[in-house]
């Protein structure tokens, strides 16, 4: 059966962040992921993981000034030094949390930057990050995000993202396939996952519309999650959604 990880950046919004680890365990999750563990001491988070009996499945590289509107800086040719510094911070956190994967957010196309220049910066930055992470035994993934939620985001679909990964040419870089984002941008979920299965390093979910839990929208998770399992996916599926109806939905899926 599929293995579900709680995205504690979005789940349990009523709780303080450090209290979410035990809440995730109490809800039946065996692993967690989150956007950015920065802001806390690594030892503090590692202690929470251990106390709750959880694994850290994934976190993102630092993504610039999130509160100021940044959604990643990897495609910005004017912030290469900042990006490289963020890779070092991301590695340090991942090692402290024994986290095997880090996601890189490409970011929004910077104002005044031509798309081809942004792609050049992204390819170069991904190559740098993939190489640095490989030295530490950590996999790098990169995801596409829908432009309804984040207008201007640079990577928006499977074909474009895989083309960028091809240009990077690293054996330590795979695609993070977010079912919710790709439903909004392209559909064809099952066929796309099967066709590109060997290039997918992490999967996330939410239903559409509303980005709530499976069963609240149009995506047939009763078919899709067992299908992904049948294909042989053995990684964690990150539950990155806005909670609405509790966690009863996951009992029939969580292994």
Handedness of CA 146, 56, 37, 241 (dihedral sign): positive
CB 213 within 8 A of CB 254: no
| Catalytic residue chosen out of the listed positions 33, 119, 213, 240 | 240
Question: Which DSSP symbol is given to 109?
Answer: P
Whole-number Å distance between alpha carbons of 170 and 174: 9
Locate 52 and state its tokens.
């709750």
| Catalytic residue chosen out of the listed positions 33, 119, 143, 213 | 143
Please report which helix (H) or strand (E) contains residue 57, including its range: strand 55-60
Whole-number Å distance between alpha carbons of 51 and 45: 10
Q: Is-catalytic flag, 143?
A: yes
What does each C-alpha distance from 210 to 59, 152, 243 come to in angstroms? 23, 20, 10
Please report which helix (H) or strand (E) contains residue 142, including its range: strand 139-143
Q: Is-catalytic flag, 240?
A: yes
Whole-number Å distance between alpha carbons of 186 and 146: 9
What does each C-alpha distance from 186 to 90, 146, 193 come to in angstroms? 30, 9, 12
CB 203 within 8 A of CB 228: yes
Q: Where in the sequence numbering do the catalytic residues fall?
A: 143, 240
């Amino acid at each position: 059966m599929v293995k579900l990880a709680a995205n504690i950046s979005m789940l349990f919004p009523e709780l303080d962040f450090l209290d979410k680890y035990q809440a995730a365990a109490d809800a039946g999750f065996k692993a967690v992921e989150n956007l950015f563990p920065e802001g806390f001491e690594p030892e503090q988070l590692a202690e929470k993981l251990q106390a709750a009996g959880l694994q850290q499945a994934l976190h993102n590289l630092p993504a610039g000034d999130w509160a100021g509107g940044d959604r990643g800086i990897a495609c910005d040719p004017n912030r290469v030094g900042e990006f490289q510094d963020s890779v070092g911070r991301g590695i340090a956190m991942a090692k402290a949390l024994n986290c095997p994967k880090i996601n890189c957010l490409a970011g929004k196309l910077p104002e005044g930057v031509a798309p081809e220049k942004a792609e050049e910066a992204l390819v170069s930055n991904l190559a740098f990050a993939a190489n640095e992470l490989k030295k530490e035994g950590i996999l790098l993934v990169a995801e596409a995000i829908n432009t309804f939620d984040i207008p201007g985001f640079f990577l928006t679909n499977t074909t474009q993202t895989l083309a960028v990964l091809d240009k990077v040419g690293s054996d330590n870089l795979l695609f993070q396939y977010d079912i919710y984002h790709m439903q909004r941008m392209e559909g064809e979920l099952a066929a796309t996952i099967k066709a590109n299965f060997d290039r997918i390093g992490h999967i996330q979910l939410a239903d559409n519309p509303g980005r709530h839990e499976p069963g609240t929208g149009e995506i047939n998770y009763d078919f899709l999650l067992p299908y992904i399992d049948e294909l042989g996916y053995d990684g964690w599926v990150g539950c990155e959604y806005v909670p609405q109806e509790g966690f009863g939905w996951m009992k029939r899926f969580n292994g």
